[in-house]
Amino acid sequence: MSSASVRRATVGLGKALREWQVRLGLATTVVVLLFALVGPWLTPQDPQALLGGIYGAPQRDALLGYDYIGHDVVSRVLAGGASLVWMSLATAGIALVVGTALGLVAGYSRRVLDPVIVWWADVLLAFPNLILVLLVVSMLGREPWLIVLVASVAFIPGVVRLVRGLTVGLASREFVEAAEMLGFARWRILVGEILPNLLTPLLVHLGTMLSWAVGILSGLSYLGYGIAPPAADWGLMVNENSMGLQIQPWAVLVPVLLIALLALGTNLLAEGVGRLAARIEDR
């Protein structure tokens, strides 16, 4: 990366951090991400070991008590975020990469590929995200990679629609026509000329997708279609311990709070970046 690019990025980050939503969203997201990613190395007990009584009360060795079958809740909370985080990031990332590629091709080709890609995207959009994922997962199983793949497929149409729309507008701009006249290869025009102009809306959309991915993946676990027991997972913890809410609430409240914070953080971040982009565009 050139020094000019680094300078531009630094200036952009500085501007972004002036938005309170960005500051709050970034801080919340980073804290929860760190907790989730470092947590598995800090567990005081084996998160799958059966140690205490069922819904055992908090005590010195188990600060948040025990869950429905005697797992240490602190250890499960520390170990249970990694799966949600990597799956959410992978879901949003795959959807972003594949959706962007398809959207660019559709928006720039405007011949046979455009209607075909848009038609497929529309068909997929007709299914509510969660229903589509539930349908496939209930038929094919609960493997994490499969859940990620299906959830990302559910997100791809949204990215395709967004990128295609923006690409159609950009394709008729002077700098693209100039690149075409200079005989640049199509992939170079797409990647070098059009894609950089999509980064801000894509960043905003990535944040939104992350929030949705957190919601869908934890929702799947809550419904019993996500990560399979005995693995530690925040969504699964809510599902497993919901019956003990009135006996030992920590096993539900803490994972719920962390899921909510992660979703809120990514959402605020996306919102802040979106507002900043809109303001810059207005100028």
Partner 1 sequence: MSTTDRSRREFLRAATAVGGGLILGGGLLGCGERDAAAGTATAAAKDPTPRHGGRLRFGIIDGDLSGNLDAHKPAGIGSTIRGFAIYSKLWEWSEEMTPRLALAEEAETNADATTWTIRLRKGLEFHNGKTITADDVIFSTLRLTDPELASPYRHLVSGIDRSRIEKLDERTVRINMKEGHGFLPLADAWVNFGGIVPPDYHPVINPVGAGPYRIKDFKPGQRALLTRFENYYKPSKPYTDELEIIEFKDQTSRYAALVGGQVDLVYGLAPEQTALFRNNPRASLQVSEAHRWQGFSLNLKKTPFDDVRVRQAFRLIADREELIRRVLNGQGRLANDLYSPRDPTFLATLPQRHQDLDRAKALLREAGHERLSLELVASAAGSAAAVAFAEQARRAGVELKIRQVDLATFNGPQMRDWQISTYEGMGESYLSTAARTDGPISASNRTNFSDERFDELFRTAVQRTDVQARVPLAHEMQQIQHERGGLLIWAYSNVLDGVSPRVGGISPEHSHFSTWRFENFWLRDAQPATTA
| Residue 58 in contact with partner 1, rule: CB under 8 A | no
Integer Cα distance of 209 and 269 in angstroms = 12
**Displacement of CA 214 from its chain's centroid (Å):** 6
**Displacement of CA 255 from its chain's centroid (Å):** 17
| Residue 130 in contact with partner 1, rule: CB under 8 A | no
| Residue 161 in contact with partner 1, rule: CB under 8 A | no
| Residue 230 in contact with partner 1, rule: CB under 8 A | yes
Which residue in the set 12, 58, 93, 224 belongs to the binding site for partner 1 (CB under 8 A)?
224
| Residue 242 in contact with partner 1, rule: CB under 8 A | yes
Which residue in the set 31, 68, 124, 264 belongs to the binding site for partner 1 (CB under 8 A)?
68
Which residue in the set 40, 70, 144, 165 belongs to the binding site for partner 1 (CB under 8 A)?
70
Segment contacting partner 1 (CB under 8 A): 97-105, 138-146, 212-220, 272-280? 138-146
| Residue 49 in contact with partner 1, rule: CB under 8 A | yes
**Total number of residues binding partner 1 (CB under 8 A)?**
23
| Residue 127 in contact with partner 1, rule: CB under 8 A | no
| Residue 101 in contact with partner 1, rule: CB under 8 A | no
CB of 245 to partner 1, least distance (A): 6
Mind giving me the DSSP string for 138-177? Answer: HHH---HHHHHHHHHHHHHHHHHHHHHHHHHHHHTSHHHH
| Residue 43 in contact with partner 1, rule: CB under 8 A | no
Q: Of 183-212, which residues contact partner 1 (CB under 8 A)?
A: none
Mind giving me the DSSP string for 122-133? Answer: HHHHTS-HHHHH
Q: Which residues bind partner 1 (CB under 8 A)?
A: 48-50, 54-55, 68-70, 138, 141-142, 224, 228-230, 240, 242-247, 249
